[in-house]
Amino acid sequence: MSEKAASSRPGEFSLIERYFAPLATSAGAVHLQDDAAVFTPDTACELVVTKDMLMAGVHFFKNDPPFEVAQKALGVNLSDLAAKGAEPKGYLLGLGLSKDIGEEWVAEFCRGLKLVQDQFQIDLLGGDTISCPQGPLLSVTAFGQVPKGQVVRRNEAVAGALLYVTGTIGDAALGLKLRLDDELAGELELSAEHRDFLLNRYLLPQPRVAAVSALREFAVAAMDISDGLIADLGHMCRTSHVQAAVRLENVPLSDAASAMIARDAAFRETAITGGDDYEILAAVMPENAVAFEVALQEAGLSCAQIGVLSAAEVSEDMISLSLNGEAYALHGAAGFKHF
């Protein structure tokens, strides 16, 4: 089923040579001159692999700048690795392009990849480019490594552990609200600075790679927050067979998020159930709590203790929420449903 209609874009091999090969500098990628790449983790290390796909119209807007889409596509994968305590090493890129995507889009997209590569010292290892009528579609497989046996799992949280999150929670979901409703920022009398901060947190998630050694050393379980704090905590509880109590007044909010919630308290629910934060949720035993906090601080990351895990009891809710001592009930469905 070959393609007939012409695009304004150069062909696949020209694109690879011009834009992608310069991103593939490791020996195992042989300048993308082969159909497969060689990658070998360091001695005494294990490979950690993850795959996240982003589809235009589902995970980003078709008119988002490709420079930023690239950073998001790589960032969300590096975020998964970071939560496992894995140092990022490289990635494979699957790219599905619709005919209306021109060379300039690809050039800008690759400029975004390069920025993230340089930031985290990683390489493009290989990939595949296909025609995708409703693209762009991005399918990234990221490779990281951890010393053998030190991977941090989502499903190994235990009763008694304290729950931590990095950074601030809810900014991306609130940013998306602003993005979907041009008038909302005005109605809420939000400052331009706060509005731009939230919009940017949605568009450009920051993978918490700096957290990897603190997580490896002190966390019993961790995951990144992509589906929303409550949904992801639910995944951790369900797979670890524990339950959680969260004090919402301890969930860290940015000034911009606080400003929105001060105008309308319903945005608190958006903040704790909305996706795309890409902060890290970690379970840490109380005896390691101080050391964990110090290690994150030394890595340049803020963190907050938001709750505690206990043994699962079938008759109760998996997650109980309180705000300043009062039980807090959710009104909507918690967390991003993928389809």
Give the C-alpha separation, 268 to 282, whole Å: 21
Give the C-alpha separation, 60 to 208, whole Å: 21
171 annotated among ligand-binding-site residues: no
H or E, element range at 199: helix 192-203
31 annotated among ligand-binding-site residues: no
Give the C-alpha separation, 42 to 148, whole Å: 10
Residue 282 has φ and ψ, to the nearest 5°, of: -135, 145
Nearer to a copy of itself, 186 or 332 (CB): 332
227: Cα separation from own chain's centroid? 9
| Least Cβ distance, residue 335 to a copy of itself (angstroms) | 9
| Least Cβ distance, residue 47 to a copy of itself (angstroms) | 5
196 annotated among ligand-binding-site residues: no
Give the C-alpha separation, 152 to 154, whole Å: 7
| Least Cβ distance, residue 174 to a copy of itself (angstroms) | 14
118 annotated among ligand-binding-site residues: no
14 annotated among ligand-binding-site residues: no
Give the C-alpha separation, 295 to 311, whole Å: 28
154 annotated among ligand-binding-site residues: yes
Give the C-alpha separation, 73 to 204, whole Å: 9
Nearer to a copy of itself, 8 or 297 (CB): 8
| Least Cβ distance, residue 30 to a copy of itself (angstroms) | 6
Nearer to a copy of itself, 94 or 322 (CB): 94
Give the C-alpha separation, 157 to 52, whole Å: 23
| Least Cβ distance, residue 86 to a copy of itself (angstroms) | 7
143: Cα separation from own chain's centroid? 15
Nearer to a copy of itself, 131 or 322 (CB): 131
Nearer to a copy of itself, 72 or 293 (CB): 72
Give the C-alpha separation, 291 to 47, whole Å: 27
The encoded tokens of residue 171 equal 């900014």
264 annotated among ligand-binding-site residues: no
Nearer to a copy of itself, 45 or 245 (CB): 45
| Least Cβ distance, residue 270 to a copy of itself (angstroms) | 12
Residues making up the annotated binding site for substrate are: 59, 276, 336
Annotated binding residues, written as ranges, equal 35, 50, 52, 59, 80, 127-128, 154, 224, 226-227, 276, 336
